[in-house]
Chain A
């Protein structure tokens, strides 16, 4: 059985733990053995994006120490994977030792749907649901990792799931980490647009690969359209396996 190290983003750890549990469920379903290092904390994305590079480096060094002996590392978050895969080397620009350690780690880190489809070569998960599903293309997942076909293939493979077209699927939801708090009016205009397109699509569920977008879109829907559901792809797929996805009535 393949041992897969789970990289659980801090947001999932603290706020949305079910995404982590469902990541483990999916990996087990695919005959992998999920392992979890309880020493893990945060990859440093927020500090890095805010310009605090010394602080981000401190977190990155901790991350590397925790994960560098693992063969395969999987995370249910496109933006966190992008941080570790593509930003750590920039972060250690002036530090050859850590730059090398970061560079060695990078190719072993995968976003969850990318890992299932590209690495395991599996596009059929099984599971069923009766729902129209729209897919939100999280920016880091789509534009930085180039991951889009993989999650959509997995959604389509769920029996009874109808993947419907979403206008502006690839337009940012306005999260952007601290951006959402620093530029609330612009951020709100973007998340409102995302929610409106979702409502127009006629889908029951809006599925995505990033807990950041999820926090934003779900937070907005919860306030303004509490009957509409946004879910993480790990939750959607694991619930489908358990037969627990139902269209909102």
Chain B
């Protein structure tokens, strides 16, 4: 998948002007947030359930290396083949190679952000292998060559007429319709044909259970179930942080995951797979491959701060709660992961070179932190990335900041550590700002604050600061 994080500002502007995006954003994030809150109320103790999820993810991340080894051993004992992929290239090569070796000419896929991260569809296409997305939303975005707009609903923003048009163009339907049920049914029939003779299915993984070597997927359409059960060869791709210690832990994470993602206490389908078909079983894939993807995560793990982002379970609750996502939607974030989730994951995985806007496009409102079922402190992480960026951190590829900005902060902090200098600084600030005053307000300042004044005024700075007024008052009392 093409990475466009460096275009955050431009894409934001396009999306702010896109009426479909804006129409959708006015409704859906609020509705999903409300549903999530309602679903949490079905816990006997919502706060305890929330905190319990944090603890599970905390333990999982702290014990990550050991849990992954246990998971591998148990998955292998179940008959699965485990491949450790250091990066996208290694993962894609393994999967393409496997497909070629088995003489597969097409594969089907369950919706998975990790394969978006890999750019797996493109890699398969280069090898002449068709990849069919089988989640309805992902199917639509694939036909349209669009990135996912929302992690849970990749095509939620696409108007129904556009879906009708692309379905006609691609031969999914013969005659036009804007009936959502008819469109859904057409896609279903179209994809059923792909499942019928399927040789190889590819899915992501929501949770991997160390103690049993099980991979778990949640979904609402049944397509993942078909991807996992109908082909001869099953490939499950997981980023390495998806592991939890026990099945009991996994069960609780499913409770919070489904509630956080879609406001359901349980999704319509949950599949737990522990290895391929056994000799005494009548169905299931003959081969099960589990690709465990690193792609920079071991490095993230080494830093106790960035490690925190590995808690993420990709529920998307942070997107729905984010004021910025609520205005610009998923495209500006420029990679597989959007919203606050992307803002904490992408800089750690891609470095800071092209993510400078991503780490700053946040008002630090803390809603994502409070809603996160995995216990990620997004604001602290973003502040950490900003500090690494201006410090020119080598590991993350920080920019070192702009010299003008650094100068302002240096002078400001020097003035602010001595009240006499502060006094001089405030007089200069007042003179400079008030130079442009119109009565008791300022409508613009020529340099440095164009963004602010594009839509806002500033009150003219009063002749006497609070400090001066207070000192005057004290003086008059003494008289």
In Å, the complex CA distance between A17 and B462 comes to 8
Say if the beta carbon of A61 comes within 8 Å of chain B.
yes
Closest-by-CB residue of A relative to B425 is: A41
- Which chain A residues border B380 with CB–CB below 8 Å? 90
Task: Given A58-B413, A186-B327, check contact A53 B387 (CB 8 Å).
Answer: yes
- Which chain B residues border A223 with CB–CB below 8 Å? 443, 455-457
Contact between B327 and A20, CB atoms less than 8 A apart: no
In Å, the complex CA distance between A218 and B465 comes to 20
Task: Given A50-B386, A59-B417, A183-B9, check contact A8 B466 (CB 8 Å).
Answer: yes
Q: Which of A115-123, A139-147, A199-207, A236-244 contacts B (4 or more CB under 8 A)?
A: A139-147
Contact between A62 and B416, CB atoms less than 8 A apart: yes
- Which chain B residues border A172 with CB–CB below 8 Å? 323, 363, 365, 367
In Å, the complex CA distance between A12 and B389 comes to 30
Contact between A186 and B451, CB atoms less than 8 A apart: no
Q: Would you give the shortest CB distance from A92 to chain B, in whole angstroms?
A: 13
Which of these, A8, A15, A187, A192, contacts B461 with CB under 8 Å?
Answer: A15
B314-341 at interface with A (beta carbon < 8 Å) = 323-324, 326-328
Q: Would you give the shortest CB distance from A56 to chain B, in whole angstroms?
A: 7
Say if the beta carbon of B125 comes within 8 Å of chain A.
no
- Which chain B residues border A42 with CB–CB below 8 Å? 412, 416, 422
Task: Given A14-B429, A21-B466, check contact A44 B457 (CB 8 Å).
Answer: no
Task: Given A21-B469, A52-B406, A183-B12, check contact A41 B364 (CB 8 Å).
Answer: no
Say if the beta carbon of B449 comes within 8 Å of chain A.
yes
Instruction: Give residues in A with beta carbon < 8 Å to B.
Output: 8, 10, 12-17, 20-21, 24, 36, 38-42, 44, 46-56, 58-59, 61-62, 90, 139-140, 143-144, 170-172, 174-192, 215-216, 218-220, 222-224
Contact between B471 and A38, CB atoms less than 8 A apart: yes
- Which chain B residues border A175 with CB–CB below 8 Å? 363
Q: How many A-B residue pairs have CB under 8 A?
A: 196
Contact between B386 and A182, CB atoms less than 8 A apart: no
In Å, the complex CA distance between A33 and B414 comes to 31
The binding surface of chain A is classed by DSSP as helix
Contact between B458 and A215, CB atoms less than 8 A apart: yes
In Å, the complex CA distance between A48 and B387 comes to 8
Say if the beta carbon of B410 comes within 8 Å of chain A.
yes
Interface centre among A41, A56, A90, A178 (most CB of B within 10 A): A41
Task: Given A14-B465, A144-B366, A183-B9, check contact A41 B456 (CB 8 Å).
Answer: no
Closest-by-CB residue of B relative to A36 is: B470
Contact between B467 and A171, CB atoms less than 8 A apart: no
- Which chain A residues border B129 with CB–CB below 8 Å? none
The 10 closest A-B pairs by CB, nearest first: A176-B363, A51-B386, A219-B456, A184-B451, A143-B366, A139-B365, A55-B413, A17-B466, A181-B451, A172-B323
Say if the beta carbon of B405 comes within 8 Å of chain A.
yes
B424-479 at interface with A (beta carbon < 8 Å) = 426, 429-430, 441, 443, 448-452, 454-459, 461-462, 464-467, 469-471
Say if the beta carbon of B360 comes within 8 Å of chain A.
yes
- Which chain B residues border A58 with CB–CB below 8 Å? 413-414, 416-417
Which of these, A48, A180, A191, A224, contacts B451 with CB under 8 Å?
Answer: A180
Closest-by-CB residue of B relative to A12 is: B466
In Å, the complex CA distance between A51 and B360 comes to 10
Say if the beta carbon of B13 comes within 8 Å of chain A.
yes
Contact between B13 and A185, CB atoms less than 8 A apart: yes
- Which chain B residues border A182 with CB–CB below 8 Å? 360, 451
In Å, the complex CA distance between A139 and B414 comes to 29
Contact between A39 and B419, CB atoms less than 8 A apart: yes
Say if the beta carbon of B266 comes within 8 Å of chain A.
no
- Which chain A residues border B186 with CB–CB below 8 Å? none
Closest-by-CB residue of A relative to B322 is: A172
Closest-by-CB residue of B relative to A16 is: B459
Q: Would you give the shortest CB distance from B395 to chain A, in whole angstroms?
A: 16
